[in-house]
Amino acid sequence: MVNSDKMVRLLKIISVIEQRNGATLQALIDECEVCERTIYRDIEALSMGGMPIHFNFIEQFAREIILTRGEMIENGA
């Protein structure tokens, strides 16, 4: 079961990424006030839940997290 703090953080991550057409890892860390590992876990949770989201490693220190504009991915598809 997802606790309310995590649910709020997941919604905040989606919102930040959509508003900015992608977001850097550092921007999400700053916005959510959590560590890097927590953001990775949250992105993994969103992805496993069917959210079309992925990492775009442009350079070692300029990592972006992109939410694709396509439809939600269906489980088992």
* pLDDT tens string 44-68: 899 898 888 877 665 545 456 665 5
Cα separation, 11 vs 70, whole angstroms: 18
Name the CA radius of gyration of the chain, rounded. Answer: 12
The single-letter code of the amino acid at 21 is N
What architecture is domain 4-67?
Answer: Orthogonal Bundle (1.10)
Q: Would you say residue 2 has pLDDT above 70?
A: no
Is the model's pTM score more than 0.85?
no
Dmax (CA) of the chain: 35
| Cα–Cα separations (whole angstroms), residue 47 to 40, 61 | 10, 22
